[in-house]
Amino acid sequence: MSVQTIATSAPPSRTGVSYSLRKPYLLFIGDAPSAGHAKTAFGIRDWAPDTVLAQWRLPGCRTDLELPEMDAATAAANGAASLVIGIAPAGGRIPAHWIDCLVAAADAGLDIVAGLHSRLNDNPELVAAARRNGIALIDVREPPKGIAVATGDKRPGKRLLTVGSDCALGKKYTALSLAKAMRQAGIDADFRATGQTGILIAGQGLPMDAVVVDFAAGAAEALSPDAAPDHWDIIEGQGSLIHPAYAGVTLALIHGSQPDALVLCHEAGRAHINDQPAIRIPPLDQLAEMYLQAARLTNPGVRLVGASLNTSRLDEGASERALDEAEDLLQVPSFDPLRTSPDAIISKLQAP
């Protein structure tokens, strides 16, 4: 039998890979030292709550999803079908002290799902446990084969890309919020996932940071293929143009997506790249122009239609002031995906 069971409903040239994931999930957050390390678990909890049964934490875990606590056997007895690793450990590798827990999940009959750089299917103990129990090991950070080099050819349909001042500040939440609000407004729109968390929420997508760099822009083209003239693909951004490590994936997404519209994402009060104080974040209007200039290579008509601020560290009054300041500076509507509505951005998106 094949241990890894990934069902592809469309070839790589159409919106990436689709995954058959059994639900509901037990979210494994192990010994996560902070909420930032468990953003996959938080993303699934926030955007696909109907798929989640419980959380499994190890001693010393400093993160709490505020879900019922269960181990693998208890979760399986209560109907769980898959264990999803919801934490990104250092280096994207599975720590040795997790293996017993993952084997226990397999022994309980749970599929194991991960989006780490180290593959479940490369671990002999997990492969043996999967074969013994007839369960699946599903690595969603595995790009499809056959991705082509980007052509730069203009595609029908419309595209919005979320871009940011740094990593881990709300590009995914912004894209999900916009796609949801647009569908509720009767607009034909789809969320396009580009990272492991988005893929686990949407059930399909392309893990952009796992694509060989020469083919990354081609992957972005494949992710948002030809569409009806009034259809919008809302594409999850990755990295930042000013990030010394991840600007490459950002630029590939910009060129391959050929966005008609950009929404600039920023955490209010963040002055420099996280953990790199020497790299200051420029004023947002300057950063917006950097993104527009890069995007004009493949779509000269691109425009900035909004700003998305993560104001989670601010009280309500300070949040409102930060949003107003962003609007004044950028001359576009702003919103916080967890606090306010994106309706003004959607109106601007539809304006000629």
Q: Write the CATH number for 283.
A: 3.40.50.300
Q: Are residues 26 and 120 both part of a single domain?
A: yes
Q: Are residues 127 and 164 both part of a single domain?
A: no
pLDDT at 328: 98
Question: 210 CB contacts (<8 Å, ≥6 apart)?
Answer: 117, 141, 142, 143
Q: Are residues 86 and 224 both part of a single domain?
A: no
Q: Are residues 121 and 239 both part of a single domain?
A: no
Q: Tokens 């264990």 appear where?
A: 83
Q: How many CA atoms lie within 13 A of 188 on its CB side?
A: 7
Cis ω for the linkage preceding 229 (within 30 of 0): no
State how far the Cα of 192 lies from the Cα of 237, in Å rounded to an integer: 9
229, burial (CB in 10 Å: exposed 0-12, middle 13-18, buried 19+): exposed
**Structure confidence by residue, pLDDT tens digits, 265-303:** 999 999 999 989 999 999 999 999 999 999 999 999 999
* Pairing of β 204-205 and β 232-235: unpaired
**Is 257 within the bounds of a domain?**
yes
Q: Are residues 170 and 247 both part of a single domain?
A: yes
State how far the Cα of 18 lies from the Cα of 32, in Å rounded to an integer: 28
Q: Are residues 173 and 266 both part of a single domain?
A: yes
Cα-flanking dihedrals φ and ψ of residue 168, to 5°? Answer: 50, 55
Q: Are residues 302 and 235 both part of a single domain?
A: yes
Contact of 91 with 117, CB cutoff 8 Å: yes
End position of a domain, from candidates 105, 139, 173: 139
Cα-flanking dihedrals φ and ψ of residue 319, to 5°? Answer: -65, -45
Q: Alpha carbon of 247 to those of 57, 163, 253, 305: distances in Å?
A: 33, 11, 10, 22
Cα-flanking dihedrals φ and ψ of residue 114, to 5°? Answer: -150, 155
> Which domain covers residue 107, as residue numbers?
20-139
What letter would DSSP give residue 282? P
Q: How many CA atoms lie within 13 A of 132 on its CB side?
A: 12
Q: Are residues 35 and 100 both part of a single domain?
A: yes
Domains identified in the chain, total number: 2
**Is 265 within the bounds of a domain?**
yes
**Is 318 within the bounds of a domain?**
yes
Each of the 352 residues of the chain gets a pLDDT tens digit; together they read: 233 333 333 334 445 678 889 999 999 999 998 888 898 999 999 999 999 999 999 999 999 999 999 999 999 999 999 999 999 876 678 999 999 999 999 999 999 999 998 899 999 999 999 999 999 999 999 898 899 999 999 999 999 999 999 999 999 999 999 999 999 999 999 999 999 999 999 989 999 999 999 999 999 999 999 999 999 999 999 999 999 999 999 999 999 999 999 999 999 999 999 989 999 999 999 999 999 999 999 999 999 999 999 999 999 999 999 999 999 999 999 999 999 999 999 999 988 7
Q: Are residues 287 and 163 both part of a single domain?
A: yes
pLDDT at 37: 87
Whole-model pTM: value is 0.91
**Is 252 within the bounds of a domain?**
yes
Contact of 236 with 243, CB cutoff 8 Å: no
Q: Residue 192, Cβ neighbours under 10 Å: how many?
A: 24
- Which amino acid, residue 67? L
Q: Is the sign of the CA dihedral 242, 333, 303, 238 positive or negative?
A: positive
- The mean of the pLDDT values for the chain is 93
Contact of 142 with 207, CB cutoff 8 Å: yes
Q: Are residues 196 and 135 both part of a single domain?
A: no
Q: Are residues 251 and 327 both part of a single domain?
A: yes
What letter would DSSP give residue 271? -
End position of a domain, from candidates 139, 168, 195: 139
